[in-house]
Structure 1
Amino acid sequence: MTNLQDLGLAYRKAKVDLYYSSHASLDDIANYEENLHSNLSLLQEKINGEDEAWVTSPEFIGTWTLVTKSVEMDCWAKYKKENGGGLIFSSPIDEWQHALKALAEKEVPEKPKAEFRIMARCSLDFHVLSTLWMLEVGQLFDARLSECAYGNRLRRTQDGKGINKLSLGSFQPYLKPFRDWRDKGIAAMRAALDADKKIVALTADVSSFYHELNPGFMLNPSFRKEILGIKLNRRKKKLHRLFIHALQAWAAATPLKKGLPVGLPASAIVANMALVELDRCIEHQVAPIYYGRYVDDILLVMENGAGFDSTLDLWEWLFDRSNEMLGWVDQSKKQVRFRPAYLSKGRSKSRVRFANGKNKVFILAGEPGKTLADAIAHQIYERASEWRAMPRLPRSATHVGTDLLAATQSDGEAADNLRNADALTMRRAGFAIKLRDFEAYERDLLPEAWAAHRRAFFRAFTQHVLVLPQFFDLAVYLPRVIRLATACEDFADLRRIIEALQRLCQQVQEQCDISVKAWHEKKSKPNATEMLDRWKGQLFSSVRESITAAFPPRLSKAGKQAWKTYMADCHPVIDLDAFLSWPLSVKSFQAQQARLFSLDLAHLPFRFIGLPKEMVAQRGIPAKKTIVGCDKAAELLSSAVFEGAQTVTQWIGFKQLPQGLPFATRPFNLPELFILNRHAYLEATQDDMRAVVLSVRGFELGEKTPLFDKNNVLQVPDGVTPRKCSIAVSSWQTSLDSWTASVMRMPDPDAERYVRLCRLLDGVIAQPRDSRYLILPELALPAHWFIRIARKLQGRGISLVTGIEYLHASKSRVRNQVWAALSHDGLGFPSLMIYRQDKQRPALHEEQELQRLAGLEMKPDKAWKTPPIIQHGDFRFTMLICSELTNIRYRADLRGKVDALFVPEWNPDTETFNALVESAALDIHAYIIQCNDRQYGDSRIRAPYKDSWKRDVLRVKGGVTDYCVIGEIDVQALRQFQSSHRSPAKPFKPVPDGFNDAMDHRRKILPLGE
């Protein structure tokens, strides 16, 4: 029997899967979740009942909609080839009109063809049932796939044996499997070429894969038992039957009368299983150097022993080894079909074809082969570098349009894989990178700080993307652009975007022929009016939901006026449903936004309401009183989820469990959980921490969690630290005006500060010599920039140590803290932990200025008497903030305990500190890493070397731009030197008197013999 908690967990996963799909309806999710207990109870009754016909009802299967695929301009390309194509237009609108006119004047008039694809809009009940099927039955099928199938694999437990029921979302994140599939293929090619082998590489993909598959084969007993060896008990057989019958009923209700529902995540499991015999055939009968399949894309690398010299030769060689599963579709030999027995009969009959036009065969040998493989690898690295980079906008708003045009045009792009130079994929990637940069600015800066760039972006978007044929390629990004405009109160631009969309819909209707992907050739053409009505309904529903999700809970004065001027009378008349569902007032939009926010469906994640206010912009966060509580949560959730969620509820100061916490789409990440729990690294809080991580993230914290040991050393496991450690010391300036603004809680007057920071960090990320640490000065960063930057640096294996702008507490108090984002591997995968340390007392001038400017007093959140020590991997260090270095007690306490001391500073008195740093290096006998504000300089790494000329490993001062210098410290050499009873002659100065008595025995290693 299926119980309510099974369905609660299934809904929890289904919600995340659906939220991240391309065309999810936020309203559908919200409406379902507002009566979640009732809806799941009714579904439970149906699943456990005797009747099975309900899965074929229209209410259960839902409906279908249309989304853009492409505008086919083959007729225009042919015309230009015949009549000369030298005419170039700067305006895409002018070029479109010219093309229409030229095609209309031909002897046989033609029109461009607007092609759409059918997408599922299934009921939420269907989504929950299909996710339950994945957890109970689908995972048994998924487990039968070999490792050569990379795409759409289910999330499993760390040992890989069972399904992870508590993780949010059903599937592994797509990016790493995709990169593994591609990169392993290229690495296999390179390795074979290095071994002087002649190789052949084949890439191919299935045409209209989902639309041509019928799921009936999944009910075939011989497929399940004989081919896959899966046995199902009575309950699972019933669940399997219900799910497959629902898929078949959905297909029967669409115009295609076939196919899998695109947009239902569980379809991916069925699609993967359809090709299971193809995988086995190639792996066992062909025995290639490499074979990998990512959904319907295959990459095959094998030795060219047979001396292939054409694509036909290669395919026919494969046919001979495929047990008749592969063959030509017909005598023209233009398409290859895959037809195993289980896809050939009755309701299972499916059409799986590799179109030869899309297939490519590479015959590689010797140096030219290596050159090609290297060129492909280089293109991949270049594109990956763009994604790794910090957000960056053009220096001048006038260049935004140029940038966007360059990112979205298809000419001159290189391919990043072995397939045809896929211009569309590259164009989308180029646009996605630009849009990501604008979204980062929206999160990190106030709207007024970068308004000119944004206006230029929306203008360019309207001129170059909201036009035919370009829009059909980039339509998937429209909701994100609308959210950006709404969140920043750019209502004039929002109105222009909506009007451009209305014009575009009119153009498609009047100027294009309409087609639907995978439409049966023998059937009459699709009804253009019906198809366009469905598409426009979906399009403007998405527009409305995007505006609602991002609508500011509190409009500024200028925002209120802009809404009144440009949007108050905006009611797109597409159909009656769209008109009636469009909110009529600002308050109506804000109420809807608060509702979506409560359910973690809004533009800003729900978790932001629980983070410290300095860490996230408050613009999109509604009042706490609007937050909806989660009724009957204990009945819907397992105790593992419920108890952890209750603990987080207490941490973030809510009395009742909010709905957006246990049913989150974007849950707290690990660094944020370390911030929420002030005592995260104490032994006493570990049970709570384990319960929370299991509930929120779906995995168990192991024994290697960062923790203070009995000697009060924070242990952060991070593998074996290399003998030498590179440290990037920044020369970064925060202006006095920015400092004053942070004290006064006013907007930062330095508009260039964020741009300068991104440029500085890009320099660190791009360095060929990887740094292990980056240090920035005291008070260098606003807290809400920290996690984004730390995670970017983590991608390059760099840990961050930086001073954070004053954190304002109650009763006119502020904190001055240094934060360290440290990489760690104690969870079985690369992760990031955040440690925060308070400056215990203000410097004299700092104390005076805080009082003079704002009547503030600096008090630590956590007091300590002995400087806390961190062991990161094998590397031991501590941090002191500026004037704390003058405390002789702190320096004495550190003697023999650390390898290095990090000192972020904002210090004009460099002469005094020069003597302190030089002295500390010798009496603590450690590396001193001092990072001062660029205005004053003297940032350095000081070492206790015997030779005086070696002691400044690096030292920088002055300059008008921000920069980083990388220095290297030899931790092992220092420890070997200090581990001798009597100091050796070199390379360091002898340890000071009494050092051996203070030396921590856990730092001792085998000394060098002389």
Structure 2
Amino acid sequence: MVNIGPSNWVITLTDAPLLSIAKYEEKLPENLLSLLDRLNGVDENWITENAFLGGWTLAAKSISWADRKKFHEKHGNGLIFSSPEDEWKHTCELLAKTTEYKKPEAEFRLMAQVSLDFHVLSTLWMLEVGHQYDANLTGCAYGNRMRRKLDKGINPLSIGSFEPYLRPFRTWRDEGIAAMRTALAAKKKVVALTADVTAFYHELNPDFMLDDRFNQKMELKLSLEQQKLHNLFIKALKAWAETTPLKKGLPVGLPASALVANVALIDLDRLLEQQVAPLYYGRYVDDILLVMENGAEFQSTIQLWEWLFKRSDEKLGWTDGGKTAIQFNPDYLDGSQIRFTNSKNKVFLLAGETGKTLVDSIAHQIHERASEWRALPNLPRSASDVGTDLVAATQSDGVAADNLRKADALTMRRAGFAIKLRDFEAYERDLPPEAWQAHRHAFFCAFIQHVITLPHFFELATYLPRVVRLATACEDFEKLRKIIRALEHMCRSVEKYCSASIKSCPEESPQEDAAVIERWRRQLLKSVRESVIAAFPPRLSKAGKVSWLNEMEKEETWTDLWPIADFDDQFAPTIKGIQLDQARLFSLDLAHMPFRFIGLPKEMIAQRGVPHRKAVTVLNDVSQLLPSNIVDGVTTLARWIKFNKDLPRGLLFPTRPFNLAELFVLVNEPFAESSQKDIQAVVLALRGFSLSEKMPCFDGRGVLQIPDGETQPKQTIAVSSWKTRLNSWVASVTRTADPDYLDRYARLNRLVNSVISQPKGARYLILPELALPAHWFMRIALKLQGRGISLIAGIEYLHASKGRVRNQVWAALSHDGLGFPSTMIYRQDKQRPALHEEQELQRLAGVELKPDKPWKSPSPPVLQHGHFRFAILVCSELTNIAYRTALRGQVDALFIPEWNQDTETFNALVESAALDIHAYIIQCNDRQFGDSRIRMPHQDNWRRDVLRVKGGIEDYCVTGEIDIHALRQFQSSYRSPRGPFKPVPDGFEINHDRKVLPLAG
């Protein structure tokens, strides 16, 4: 997705070639002015010219074999091959010896490759005309809805034209399941129908959007300029269709096509909502889910459909006498074929306890799959397990349905592989390549053996570019060459053993098999080449350079595998040439590594894919391209990340802009009132919305106010027992490679996953002092945010200039100041080193600990997170009696991350602090020393430890609950009541903001 645009709108691109986008964006003003002149001109012939329309390509859909059953009946089904490649080869060799059976059919999906001008025009149409159609859709249409502001007006500055797909999809699915559960709980019989339109985009004629009757129904109000734009856009859609073998349909890959397709089914929505009056009806693009009370006692799919036909005013009916498909045929869709094929429809008859069991089973599978996505990557203990895991994730048997509609094995295999690939992409970001090389090579070998083989590749082809990027970014050029060779071999196998077809292509205009396969092959290798460029390291290691020269920079690689005719003349397949192209893509935020990584602190992100700042391209004058408020916000952001003169293109038109949590890291004083206007300007420029006044900010009394939902009387704290080995500590001090890197990463992910998966959940997770590297923090924090868990963790030493290091605790705290759940990052320095810490830092590395941000007052900072008020002290800071005195009456709890061997001394300090501060003390020490606990000032001595842990050979968490409301009730009395807490100490005064109504006697 790429954002480019003039002063009042934003364009969204999907599936456009990266190098084409780069070429267009590098001359953006000229290209936009040229298009504007054509739009305003009298001549409209340009709209049907190939230069504007672009072209089309093919993507692998599936390999089917009509005679499979017949073949296996004769040749048997008991021969089992360990190698999918051997199984395919054996079957094809048997087929080649006879003409009795049809060849397997390789089916391809036609995809649009329209020009960038077409993308610009279509987005302009969406923002000027299309949003009016979208506004007519009711809430039952969940997918592909345009982004809007709170007042329901269109948001021209949003990232992308449509709402993110995941939340609407989950809402569509979950509300359907909830409707079934509610009805079954009321002892009703339920019938649920799921169906989708066959080849929806390919069979839709956009002429209906020029139909006066339809537009009157939509209450469309267009100016003369908008009417002209509307006519040009529909004309372009039809002209593009004529350039394809299908001679019909919408361009798949053009975002505006999704809006056109959504609106085409508006009468279906109205019919099912108003005439059927179901318990629930929802549509996600072309997938429908209908839940009704089964009062008619339906016994078959046909009965249900015919019952619906009678209430459809003849808009629904059978397509033929065989009753194999259903046609939706409203008066405005002449020339379109909107069909629901019976073989893909499902009807669920649910009643009583068995109905509840089935719905619960589906909901359980949804939860299990969602849990896999929520979890951090689980690195296999041995590289030998990688292939086994990949085969298990992509196997055909033993998979369970994760929703009502797509209860098929293919969907599960894709999801399983996607999760594994996501894990390996996380390893690439979090770990140095040499640390996990064996695991990665095992993954590539399994990918070649089990995925780049027929028929499996057609099911998982969409993931190929990501695997190629992974291999390139990690300098695995030997494996990359093997992947390319395997692709070439697979393409030849398709050509030799398969017939070819294009989905929805009319029978009267068949395409030659060889031409279809060759077009697909060329597109496949183009995507490989583009992925290599996007992910190519700006600085190759010595071994990586040798590997590239030996494996990739050979004439046969570039001529036999990737014909020069496929590429532009400027491309040079040399290390320097590819690095120049990678830097070009990076500057435009089109490379594998997001452009924003150049601005994040180096300790937070690996710099392997980030070119030198000198390679970044900038724009000098953007006043004619973007509105002033956007330019102001980007200018502020550029200043934050040390681009002080010109504005980088990657900031002006980002594809993956800074998230809110990262912005809190970039700003020097993110919570000062003086910074709020700058943050608001940057968020508007990057994200397209204005911040509310509820953003985290220090109040007049120096308390950091963090709005976060409703008042919670109790808080649940997960206290970790986590071990950082001494060698890891030394490596951090001396800035050398951590010998425990891989095992430590795997242990940490397992620990966090155990917290995420806890059935009752925790509100906070605390890790010890110096617990993890800074570049692991953000990924973990955002994962925990998805479960509503805030993270407080000690960060490894951050090295600054002049022999100084920082010892910081970072807190990723949830907040709802944006109107939706988000995360802010708070960073607090240890103000002075412990005595032994100071000595060891000097002895090992000659460095000294100095805080990046010394406290502005002698008192520790206080945080008000929602209703919960707490402070953080780092290990030896607890020994400072002035800090403890300053916190008395000010906080509900005190968090203390520690790396502390002197547990006996700290035992006395913690027990004393709980009584004299009169608050909950949450102490988290490294596991090798132990004594992590939650201590409270309870009147009964034996109840003062809410939890306490020590020792063990595995990392783990223990969860405890603290009742801050009960503590405040106790402290708000003029005289301490009899219980349940110890009386407040002499001189104790509760802060006014913590006072609540005391408990009656």
Q: Normalising by structure 1, what TM-score?
A: 0.97
3-state SS of paired residue (2:648)? coil
Counterpart Cα distance in 1 of 2:799 and 2:897: 20
Residues 1:622 and 2:572 aligned together:
no
Q: Is the 8 A contact 1:940 1:955 kept in 2?
A: yes
Q: How does 1:669-708 map to 2 (within 5 A)?
A: 669-708=659-698
Q: Is the 8 A contact 1:540 1:578 kept in 2?
A: no
Q: How does 1:150-161 map to 2 (within 5 A)?
A: 150-159=142-151, 161=152
Deviation at 1:105, TM superposition (A): 3.7
Deviation at 1:353, TM superposition (A): 0.5
Q: Is the 8 A contact 1:821 1:833 kept in 2?
A: yes
Residues 1:515 and 2:501 aligned together:
yes
Counterpart Cα distance in 2 of 1:70 and 1:48: 44
Q: How does 1:674-823 map to 2 (within 5 A)?
A: 674-750=664-740, 751-823=742-814
**Structure 1 stretch displaced more, 573-582 or 869-878:** 573-582
Residues 1:565 and 2:550 aligned together:
yes
Q: 1:106 to 1:528 in 2, by over 3 A?
A: closer
**Structure 1 stretch displaced more, 555-564 or 483-492:** 555-564
Q: Is the 8 A contact 2:4 2:653 kept in 1?
A: no
Partner of 1:665: 655
Residues 1:400 and 2:389 aligned together:
no
Partner of 1:447: 433
Q: Is the 8 A contact 2:67 2:101 kept in 1?
A: no
Deviation at 1:575, TM superposition (A): 4.0
Q: 1:572 to 1:8 in 2, by over 3 A?
A: farther
Q: Is the 8 A contact 2:862 2:871 kept in 1?
A: yes
Counterpart Cα distance in 2 of 1:753 and 1:85: 46
Deviation at 1:636, TM superposition (A): 0.3
Deviation at 1:809, TM superposition (A): 1.2
Q: 1:625 to 1:203 in 2, by over 3 A?
A: same
Partner of 2:821: 830
Equivalent residue letter for 2:414? R
3-state SS of paired residue (2:136)? coil
Q: Is the 8 A contact 2:815 2:824 kept in 1?
A: yes
Partner of 2:321: 331
Counterpart Cα distance in 1 of 2:736 and 2:272: 64
Equivalent residue for 2:634, pick from 645, 654, 662 = 645
Partner of 2:859: 866
Residues 1:93 and 2:79 aligned together:
no
**Structure 1 stretch displaced more, 308-317 or 596-605:** 308-317
Q: Is the 8 A contact 2:558 2:564 kept in 1?
A: no
Equivalent residue for 1:968, pick from 937, 961, 964 = 961
Deviation at 1:354, TM superposition (A): 0.4
Counterpart Cα distance in 1 of 2:170 and 2:960: 33
Residues 1:954 and 2:942 aligned together:
no
Deviation at 1:623, TM superposition (A): 0.3
Deviation at 1:533, TM superposition (A): 2.4
Partner of 2:6: 7
Partner of 1:537: 522
Equivalent residue for 2:897, pick from 897, 904, 911 = 904
Equivalent residue letter for 1:78? K
Residues 1:192 and 2:183 aligned together:
yes
Counterpart Cα distance in 1 of 2:54 and 2:292: 45
Residues 1:121 and 2:113 aligned together:
yes
Partner of 2:566: 578
Deviation at 1:702, TM superposition (A): 0.3
Deviation at 1:13, TM superposition (A): 3.1
Deviation at 1:116, TM superposition (A): 0.5
Counterpart Cα distance in 2 of 1:180 and 1:90: 41
1:771-821 Cα distance to aligned partner (Å, 9 max, x none) = 000000001111111110001001111000001111111111111111100
3-state SS of paired residue (1:965)? strand
Equivalent residue letter for 1:168? I
Equivalent residue for 1:207, pick from 195, 198, 202 = 198
3-state SS of paired residue (1:752)? helix
Partner of 2:165: 174
Deviation at 1:530, TM superposition (A): 2.3
3-state SS of paired residue (1:834)? strand
Equivalent residue for 2:374, pick from 388, 410, 419 = 388
Equivalent residue letter for 1:537? R
Counterpart Cα distance in 1 of 2:128 and 2:73: 56
Partner of 1:355: 341
Counterpart Cα distance in 2 of 1:5 and 1:101: 52
Residues 1:51 and 2:43 aligned together:
yes
Counterpart Cα distance in 2 of 1:181 and 1:81: 42
Q: Is the 8 A contact 1:358 1:420 kept in 2?
A: no
Q: Is the 8 A contact 1:152 1:172 kept in 2?
A: yes
Counterpart Cα distance in 2 of 1:75 and 1:54: 48
Partner of 2:23: 31
Counterpart Cα distance in 1 of 2:824 and 2:69: 55
Deviation at 1:235, TM superposition (A): 1.3
Counterpart Cα distance in 2 of 1:82 and 1:970: 72
Q: Is the 8 A contact 1:154 1:172 kept in 2?
A: yes
Equivalent residue letter for 2:538? P
Residues 1:313 and 2:303 aligned together:
yes
3-state SS of paired residue (1:331)? coil
Equivalent residue for 1:496, pick from 482, 489, 496 = 482
3-state SS of paired residue (1:503)? helix
Counterpart Cα distance in 1 of 2:559 and 2:61: 23
Deviation at 1:110, TM superposition (A): 2.3
Deviation at 1:107, TM superposition (A): 4.9
Counterpart Cα distance in 2 of 1:1002 and 1:78: 79
Counterpart Cα distance in 1 of 2:256 and 2:559: 34
Q: Is the 8 A contact 2:136 2:218 kept in 1?
A: yes
**Structure 1 stretch displaced more, 846-855 or 27-36:** 846-855
Give the unaligned 5+ runs of structure 1: none
3-state SS of paired residue (1:138)? helix
Equivalent residue letter for 1:552? P
Counterpart Cα distance in 2 of 1:825 and 1:386: 26
Equivalent residue letter for 1:503? H
3-state SS of paired residue (1:288)? coil
Partner of 1:600: 589
Q: Is the 8 A contact 2:245 2:509 kept in 1?
A: no
Equivalent residue letter for 1:92? P
Counterpart Cα distance in 2 of 1:576 and 1:728: 58
Residues 1:550 and 2:549 aligned together:
no
**Structure 1 stretch displaced more, 976-985 or 719-728:** 719-728
Counterpart Cα distance in 2 of 1:535 and 1:722: 57
1:925-961 Cα distance to aligned partner (Å, 9 max, x none) = 0000000011100011010000000111111111111
Q: Is the 8 A contact 2:158 2:687 kept in 1?
A: yes
Q: Is the 8 A contact 1:598 1:627 kept in 2?
A: yes
**Structure 1 stretch displaced more, 78-87 or 847-856:** 78-87
Counterpart Cα distance in 2 of 1:419 and 1:272: 19
Counterpart Cα distance in 1 of 2:781 and 2:275: 48
Equivalent residue for 1:887, pick from 853, 863, 880 = 880
Partner of 1:456: 442
Counterpart Cα distance in 1 of 2:800 and 2:65: 61
Deviation at 1:909, TM superposition (A): 0.7
Equivalent residue for 1:635, pick from 624, 630, 634 = 624
Partner of 1:977: 970
Q: Is the 8 A contact 1:572 1:578 kept in 2?
A: no
Counterpart Cα distance in 1 of 2:679 and 2:577: 39
Q: Normalising by structure 2, what TM-score?
A: 0.98
Counterpart Cα distance in 1 of 2:424 and 2:346: 37
Deviation at 1:65, TM superposition (A): 0.5
Residues 1:413 and 2:399 aligned together:
yes
Q: Is the 8 A contact 2:11 2:124 kept in 1?
A: no
Counterpart Cα distance in 1 of 2:817 and 2:428: 34
Q: Is the 8 A contact 2:66 2:102 kept in 1?
A: no
Counterpart Cα distance in 2 of 1:172 and 1:828: 16
Equivalent residue for 2:840, pick from 845, 849, 852 = 849
1:691-713 Cα distance to aligned partner (Å, 9 max, x none) = 01111111111011111000110
Partner of 1:242: 232
